Amino acid sequence: MPAASTRVPQQERSRATQARLLEATVDCLIEHGWAGTSTTVVAARAGVSRGAQLHHYPTKTALVTAAVDHLAERRAAELRAEADAVPAGPRRLDRVIDLLAAAFTGPLFVAALELWVAARTDAELRAALVPLEARVGREMHRLTVELLGVDERRPGVREAVQATLDLMRGLGVANLLSDDSARRTALLATWKHQLSTLLTPDEAARRPGRADADGRH
């Protein structure tokens, strides 16, 4: 029993150490960029020994990709929680788009951009990042479908959702060097209107007798 009783605290300490390292990594990426983020700097910021850091994440690439994965999961959970507080109704789409826009201007996106740019010329980072970003992209797409409450089996819905995410990504990049909030707000207002039209089923097309009323059979 003593071995079992000590194992749980050890596991808890290990998870706590990992969490501190991952949070410190994201902070360093945001403040110092990829070039200024070293495992030594991260360990010092997290208050973790160099040996403990190497035990959990032996390379810089392993550390930063784990940090992005961790933040992506946490942000997805936060988005779901925030969306759950939004009541159903005609204004829900507007609020969901606002939540997504905030996600693409937040710390995770800034950290991810640092890695995308670095991965262009770093083969090891690119090999680790490409599959991670593919999975994060799929999960973000599924989450957006869930939050909007739409059916991707309908023609055009999948494309509309993906266009929304691509727009958010572009607006996030535009906001990186200067405050682009005014232009972003105007563009999002237009897109909300267009997206509502794209995602709303054509009730007239589904009503019985439409072909007769139109004189077509």
User: How does residue 83 score in pLDDT terms, banded at 50, 70 and 90?
Assistant: confident
Domains in the chain, please, with CATH?
A: 2-201 (1.10.357.10)
What does the pLDDT look like over 89-142, one tens digit per residue?
A: 878 899 999 999 988 888 778 888 888 889 999 998 899 889 988 888 888 899
State residue 24's pLDDT score.
93
Mean predicted confidence (pLDDT) in 52-67: 90
User: How does residue 6 score in pLDDT terms, banded at 50, 70 and 90?
Assistant: low
In our burial notation (b when 16+ CB lie closer than 10 A, e otherwise), range 143-181 reads bbeebbebeeeeeebeebbeebbebbbebbeebeeeebe
User: How does residue 76 score in pLDDT terms, banded at 50, 70 and 90?
Assistant: confident
94: tokens are 């507007």
- The larger pLDDT score, comparing residue 1 to residue 85, is at 85
What does the pLDDT look like over 132-185, one tens digit per residue?
A: 888 888 888 998 998 899 999 999 999 999 999 999 999 999 988 888 889 999
| pTM (two decimals) | 0.76
Phi, psi of 179 (to 5 degrees): -70, 110
How far apart are alpha carbons 150 and 201 in whole angstroms? 10
